[in-house]
Amino acid sequence: MISGNVLHEVRRILRSFPVASCLLDREPRYIAANQRYSEIFRKDLDHIIGSPMANISPPRFIQNVHRDFRIFDAGASVPDHEVELDDRKYLVSVGSIASEQTGGIIAISVALTDITRLKRVEHELEEANRSLSRALYKITEIAETDQLTGLHNRHAFEMYLMKEIARIKRTRTPVSAILIDVDLFKAYNDLYGHVQGDDCLRAVATAIRQGTRRIGDFSARYGGEEFVVILPDTDLPGAVATAQRIQEAIAACAIRHDGSPFQSLSVSIGVFCLPLMPAPLDIKSIRELILTGADRALYHAKQNGRNTIHIADMEGF
C-alpha cells in the first residue's frame, strides 16, 4: 500500500503533468489520475480515482497493465509503445513504484502522450518521400532513355560501362561488346522518309531486346543508326550467339528496303570479347579497349559486304 502522504504528493504531481497520467495498483485499480486523463476517457476525475480499471478502460488496456506488472516483477523495463483510442494515437510510457518495506512492485504509473498529429505528419512525410522517390526515378529513367527507341541512351551507356568495368576488373570475368549498325540507313530514309525511318529504328531496338535474354545484358542506342550491347560475364561463343539472335530477329521483321542489295532491312554487327580483364590497365583504358575492339569488328563487317557478323580478336591490341 502507498501511504496517505505519499499518495497525496503523487496526486499533486500528476495534476501538474502536461500529459494524461494515472497511477494503478495491482488489482488494477486507479489510485491517482489527472484531468487530462479524465478527458481522454470522458469520465469525471472523482469517478476514475478508486474505480477498477475495468470500469474505465478497454479490456486490451487492462491486459497491457497485467503484462507490465509481470515485466517489472521480472526486473525489466517496459518499453514505450503506441496505442490507439477513439481514432487517436498515444505514446504510452510506463514506470514502476516499489514498496519501501519489501521492494516489490506495488503500483505503476502510466503517461499517455497524444501523438495523433505527429503520426499524421509522419504519414504525410512518408507519402511525400514516396512521391518524390517515384518522381526522381521517373526523371532518371527519362534522362537515361532514348526517347525514340526506348533503349538506354548514350549517357546511360557510358555510366553503365564504367561501373561494369570496375566490377569485372575486381571479379576478373569476361565481358563482351556488340556494335550494331543499320545497313544503308541513309538510303532507307531517302526512300521512305524519316517517319518510316524512325519506325525502322524502333523495330531494330525491339529485335535487340529479343536477342538479349539475360537480365544483366545492357543495350543502348549508341548514336544515329548504331546500337551497342554489353554482355557481362559472357565469353566469345555466348556473344556470337547473342549477335546471331539479334540478326535473325531483325531479318524476321522483313522490312522492305529497295535501296539495299538484300532488298530488306539488314544490320552489320561487330563482336568483341575481352576474356580476361587486364589488371594493370585503368578503367578508362579498358573502356577504350572494349569499344575500339567492337568498332573494329563492325568496320570489317561493313567492309565485307554488310549484313554479316564479324569478330575482332585481341591480336593487335
300 within domain boundaries? yes
Segment 240-250 shows an average pLDDT of 95
Residues 267 and 152 in one domain: yes
265 within domain boundaries? yes
Residues 17 and 84 in one domain: yes
134 within domain boundaries? no
Looking from the CA of 286 toward its CB, the CA atoms found within 13 Å total 25
52 within domain boundaries? yes
Q: In the predicted model, is pLDDT for residue 6 greater than 70?
A: no
The pLDDT value given to residue 21: 92
Indicate the burial class of 50 (C-beta count within 10 angstroms; 0-12, 13-18, 19 or more).
Answer: exposed
Mean pLDDT score of the chain, rounded to an integer?
91
Residues 82 and 164 in one domain: no
Sequence letter at residue 68: D
Is 84 annotated as catalytic? no
pLDDT tens, position by position, 110-169: 999 999 999 999 999 999 999 999 998 888 888 899 999 999 999 999 999 999 998 888
Q: In the predicted model, is pLDDT for residue 316 greater than 60?
A: no
Residues 162 and 95 in one domain: no
Residues 12 and 86 in one domain: yes
The whole-angstrom separation of Cα 144 and Cα 200 is: 21
Confidence of residue 99 (pLDDT cuts 50, 70, 90): confident
The CA radius of gyration of the chain, in Å to the nearest whole number, is 37
C-alpha cell recorded at residue 312: 575482332
Residues 58 and 97 in one domain: yes
The whole-angstrom separation of Cα 136 and Cα 141 is: 8
Residues 56 and 170 in one domain: no
122 within domain boundaries? no
Indicate the pairing of strand 226-232 with strand 175-182: antiparallel
Indicate the pairing of strand 175-182 with strand 267-274: antiparallel
Residues 113 and 245 in one domain: no
Candidates 217, 236, 235, 237; CA nearest to 227 is 217
The pLDDT value given to residue 224: 93
Confidence of residue 102 (pLDDT cuts 50, 70, 90): confident
pLDDT-above-90 percentage for the chain: 77
Helices 236-253 and 194-211, axial angle in degrees (round to 10)? 140
Residues 195 and 111 in one domain: no
How many domains are contained in the chain?
2
pLDDT tens, position by position, 281-304: 788 888 999 999 999 999 999 999
The pLDDT value given to residue 291: 94
88 within domain boundaries? yes
Q: Which of 225, 248, 288, 315 is catalytic?
A: 225
Question: Domain containing 228 — which CATH number?
Answer: 3.30.70.270
Q: Range of 69's domain?
A: 4-117
The whole-angstrom separation of Cα 103 and Cα 101 is: 6
Residues 158 and 303 in one domain: yes
The whole-angstrom separation of Cα 224 and Cα 238 is: 27
253 within domain boundaries? yes
Task: State pTM to two decimals.
Answer: 0.65
Residues 275 and 214 in one domain: yes
123 within domain boundaries? no
Cis peptide before 28 (omega within 30 of 0): yes
Residues 163 and 295 in one domain: yes
Q: In the predicted model, is pLDDT for residue 192 greater than 70?
A: yes
Question: Domain containing 80 — which CATH number?
Answer: 3.30.450.20
Element (H, E) at 126: helix 116-143
